Structure 1
Amino acid sequence: MFTVEERELLRGAMIAHAEESPDIVGAALVGSAARGREDRWSDIDLVLKLAPGVDEAVVVDAWTAWMHDRADVADTLDVHTRDARYRVFLLASSLQVDVSFWPHDAFRETEDGFALIFGDANSPTRPTPPDVDGLIGMGWLYALHARSAVARGRVWQATIMLDHLRDQTIALACLSDGLDPWHGRDADRLPIGLRTALAAARAGTVTVDALSASLAALTRVFAEEVAHHDLARARRLEAPLAVIAERMPDR
């Protein structure tokens, strides 16, 4: 397990390397460090602004080689967005290091918490929130597939479908409360009543009976969240969701 001191030393070295590199003309910290919420478990999130005209792939490869020389890298993952490439490093110590490479004209703040280290940034933007219609539609679709999986005795498929239904429900709830709907980041800030209902709707064992009860309870919570966003749609969904929420006979 990495220590806070090891994390700080590596981050300092990465910033110094960026400042010395002619291919990098700007850098910023994002994530918990930029928001002043860093703790023992936080990772490193460094955003880099590429110099005009540089070959992005060459710069990424050079940074990767530097990271391998500097740290014990176990694996890497590339995540591509519309504007940038995030190269995610997993170190042997379990420290996660995210380095994102932004074209010169795209470098900007995209979320709360952007601590500029050097260079300048374009006007900030915010990500488009999840589509409510899509969350609702996928929610009832997952509920349907959970029901058929339970009925067929496919308990692991049912477990996965219920997890997806819970994800949709939590995202809808976060949007209702003005919280971050992405990746469960603000799920722990949802109202205690809702969190209690979600906890009660979670199956304690992977059995048909437990999953059937979970489906019934979770579908009701989902229906309540739909009503917060679109009452007319909630009324149209009332009948099919009530059928889905009916407990199957105990086996």
Structure 2
Amino acid sequence: MYSVEVRDAVRDHLLGGAINDSTIVGAAVTGSQALGGGDQWSDIDLAFGVDGPLETTMHRWTELIYREFAAVHHWDLPYGSAIYRVFLLPDALEVDIAFMPAAEFRPRGPSWRTVFGHPAPRVDAPTPSRRDLTGLAWHHALHARVCIRRSRWWQAEQWIGSLRGHVLALAGLRLGRAAAHLLPADVTAPLTATLVRSLDEAELTRALGAATAALVAELGLVDRELAGRLANILGDPPRRLGQ
């Protein structure tokens, strides 16, 4: 496992390389460390504004990181006009670098500290709507029920976990808190019962019932009528095929 000193040295080396790269017109620290947060387990999150084709600069930087830090693997996450290239180093240090066109070099949220360059005005990612989160939640509850009926235990477990995530997202939207770890215990504690402890019909049915109850309770805090309508439908316990 990497040390704080090693992580910071890698970050500073990368930022120094960015300053000396003529195609990089701006750099920023993003993520948990941007505003003085983070801890000893935080990884490296950077954003580079690129003048010219992204692929050319990304290819050169990929070769650099493999050569100088012996990277083990990398993968890409496109997001709008940016591409986040995510590297894994041998000591389990993750390095995320967002390569974006120079004109699009800008914060996508509050976690941003400009190192050099002139970022465009901040644009926050759109907040998911309560309607969409609610729809996804009841969709996942129904699919979990069907998977239990079909004896597809692993699929059922995945749907239940996703349902729990959307209940947390709905609570975060209600309380104005984006991350689940910022939610109060009275919101998160009841969701412990939604964790699946084994892959069998009885346990999956129990966990789904707890997750459905949590969804209905959360919705009931803002829309009691809708919560009641969904409770009437989602409260039907799953039965296996042939029953």
TM-score by length of 2: 0.93
How far apart are the structure 1 equivalents of 2:104 and 2:209?
Answer: 46
How far apart are the structure 2 equivalents of 1:136 and 1:226?
Answer: 8
User: How far apart are residue 112 of structure 1 and its match?
Assistant: 1.3
Residue 227 (str. 1) matches residue 220 (str. 2) = yes
- Unmatched segments (≥5 aa) in structure 1: 181-185
Q: How does 1:1-251 map to 2 (within 5 A)?
A: 1-51=1-51, 54-180=52-178, 186-244=179-237
Moved over 6 A (4+): none
Q: Which amino acid aligns with 1:116?
A: T
How far apart are the structure 2 equivalents of 1:146 and 1:83?
Answer: 35
- Unmatched segments (≥5 aa) in structure 2: none
How far apart are the structure 2 equivalents of 1:152 and 1:23?
Answer: 55
How far apart are the structure 2 equivalents of 1:135 and 1:72?
Answer: 41
Aligned partner of residue 115 in structure 1, secondary structure: strand
Give deviations 1:200-251, integer Å, cap 9, x for gaps.
222322221111111111101011222334444323323102224x899xxx
Give deviations 1:158-215, integer Å, cap 9, x for gaps.
11111111111111111111111xxxxx212212122111002223222211111111
Aligned partner of residue 34 in structure 2, secondary structure: helix
User: How far apart are residue 62 of structure 1 and its match?
Assistant: 0.6
How far apart are the structure 2 equivalents of 1:150 and 1:113?
Answer: 41
Give deviations 1:119-159, integer Å, cap 9, x for gaps.
11111111101232222112112111211222333221211
Aligned partner of residue 221 in structure 2, secondary structure: helix
Q: Which amino acid aligns with 1:161?
A: W
Q: Which amino acid aligns with 1:60?
A: M
How far apart are the structure 2 equivalents of 1:164 and 1:220?
Answer: 15
Q: Which amino acid aligns with 1:228?
A: L
TM-score by length of 1: 0.90
Q: Would you say the 8 A contact 1:201–1:215 is kept in 2?
A: yes
Give deviations 1:19-59, integer Å, cap 9, x for gaps.
011101111101111121121111111111112xx121111
| More displaced 10-residue stretch of structure 1: 61-70 or 196-205 | 196-205
How far apart are the structure 2 equivalents of 1:16 and 1:25?
Answer: 13
Q: Which amino acid aligns with 2:60?
A: A
Q: Would you say the 8 A contact 1:216–1:247 is kept in 2?
A: no
| More displaced 10-residue stretch of structure 1: 14-23 or 102-111 | 102-111
How far apart are the structure 2 equivalents of 1:215 and 1:205?
Answer: 13
